[in-house]
């Protein structure tokens, strides 16, 4: 028996969400009284593989596939899951994870819960909490099959350190031509920008900014704080900002530590996507804006007056804390 965790890497490096998933798997294994096994696919350095032991993995299968397809990755993960007799497979709910997890579930005839935000409650079955109605509520889902696949939301579980090294098991997998039908033609990854889904700090702006030409100060504030940028639906609909920045019910749901909303009124659909943020700040010139009811801190004022003050204060803070 075991709990298996997919240790996702990008360009040979484990992501923050991967370490969260390994920590989550370790705690789940403790609850089930079993061991934690990781599976890494891609070309990851031996030292990084061993270091997963610090986050709770006892062993890590290293599988060197040079390309990603959901079919190939899910086949490799399911193969190891069967070999290690896994009761639960933990996968981070990133874009790659989302494409792999359901295929793994079918291969293992496992029930699956995605968007999970809590450790399983194993006192009576296997129950996990997940976000539903795009952040407007939570649901407790009982997964009733013998094997379970759990896709956890990035930023929903902390990274634990236990000390120790994982044993590395180099594993060859034989995949048929069916696993390689999809060919990657081009990858455009924005470098030097924090992916919104994984960001701990987010600066977001709405129609109150009056036009795309005014986003300079939003980007500057984000850059000083080390935050990702986001926007409201109208802003993305008007093509002021790219759609992948749109947070809300029909955009993406995020749960950063800090969400600063500038010139966003706080419609129910927008709040749905951000209400799980730990701390919410609303800046709006309308004192009646609904966002103030959902916020921890609020400033009633014009963005064009308030944001430069925030930038100045943030620069001062960064200068004082870096000394």
Partner 1 sequence: MKILVCISVVPDTTTKITFTDNNTKFNTAGVQFIINPYDELALTRALEITEASSGTVTAINVGLADAEANIRKALAIGAHDAVRINANPTDAFFVAAEIAAYAKDKGFDLILTGRESIDYNGGLVCGLLAEMLGIPSVNVVTKIDVAGGEATLVRDIDGGKETVKVALPIVASAQKELTEPRIPNMRGIMAARTKPLAVVEPAANKVSSAFNAFELPAAKAGCKMIAAENAGELIELLHTEAKVI
Q: Terminal CA-to-CA distance of the chain, rounded, Å?
A: 50
Which CB sits closer to partner 1, 163 or 288?
288
Which CB sits closer to partner 1, 73 or 157?
73
Q: How far is the CB of 174 from partner 1 (least distance, A)?
A: 17
Q: CA 304, 306, 307: angle at the middle one, nearest 5? A: 75
Which CB sits closer to partner 1, 59 or 299?
299
Q: How far is the CB of 8 from partner 1 (least distance, A)?
A: 9
Which CB sits closer to partner 1, 47 or 187?
187
* Per-residue tokens: 225: 């704080």
Task: Name the one residue in this structure whose structure tokens are 């924090």.
Answer: 194
Dist CA 2 CA 204 (whole Å)? 41
Q: How far is the CB of 26 from partner 1 (least distance, A)?
A: 23
Q: How far is the CB of 165 from partner 1 (least distance, A)?
A: 27
Which CB sits closer to partner 1, 88 or 110?
110
Backbone dihedral region for residue 45 (phi beyond 0: left; psi -120 to 50: alpha; all else: beta): beta
Q: How far is the CB of 35 from partner 1 (least distance, A)?
A: 25
Which CB sits closer to partner 1, 33 or 176?
176
Q: How far is the CB of 42 from partner 1 (least distance, A)?
A: 14
Distances (CA, A) of 146 to 36, 83, 87, 107, 112: 17, 16, 7, 13, 11
**Under 8 Å CB-to-CB from 141, ≥6 apart: which residues?**
113, 127, 128, 129, 130
Dist CA 205 CA 299 (whole Å)? 14
């Amino acid at each position: 028996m075991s709990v298996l965790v997919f240790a996702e890497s990008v360009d040979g490096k484990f992501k923050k969400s991967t370490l969260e998933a390994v920590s989550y798997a370790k705690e789940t294994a403790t609850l089930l009284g079993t061991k934690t096994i990781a599976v890494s696919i891609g070309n990851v350095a031996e030292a990084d593989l061993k270091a997963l032991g610090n986050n709770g993995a006892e062993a890590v299968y290293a599988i060197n596939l040079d390309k990603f397809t959901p079919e190939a990755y899910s086949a490799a993960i399911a193969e190891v899951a069967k070999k290690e007799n896994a009761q639960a497979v933990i996968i981070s709910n990133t874009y790659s994870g989302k494409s792999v997890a359901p295929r793994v579930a079918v291969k293992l005839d496992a029930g699956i819960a995605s968007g999970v935000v809590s450790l399983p409650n194993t006192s009576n079955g296997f129950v996990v909490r997940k976000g539903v109605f795009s952040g407007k509520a939570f649901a407790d889902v009982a997964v009733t099959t013998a094997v379970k696949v759990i896709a956890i939301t990035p930023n929903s579980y902390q990274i634990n350190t236990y000390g120790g090294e994982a044993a590395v098991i180099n594993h060859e997998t034989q995949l048929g031509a069916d696993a390689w039908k999809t060919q990657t033609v081009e990858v455009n990854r924005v470098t030097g920008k924090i992916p919104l889904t994984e960001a701990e700090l987010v600066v977001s702006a709405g129609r109150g900014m009056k036009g795309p030409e005014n986003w300079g100060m939003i980007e500057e504030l984000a850059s000083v704080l080390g935050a990702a940028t986001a926007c409201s639906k109208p802003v993305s609909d008007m093509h002021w900002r790219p759609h992948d920045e749109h947070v809300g019910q029909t955009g993406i749901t995020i749960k950063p530590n800090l969400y600063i909303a500038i010139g966003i009124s706080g419609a129910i659909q927008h709040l749905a996507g951000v209400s799980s943020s730990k701390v919410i700040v609303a800046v709006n010139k309308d004192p009646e804006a609904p966002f103030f009811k959902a916020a921890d801190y609020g400033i009633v004022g014009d963005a064009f007056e308030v944001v430069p003050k925030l930038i100045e204060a943030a620069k001062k803070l960064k200068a004082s804390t870096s000394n």
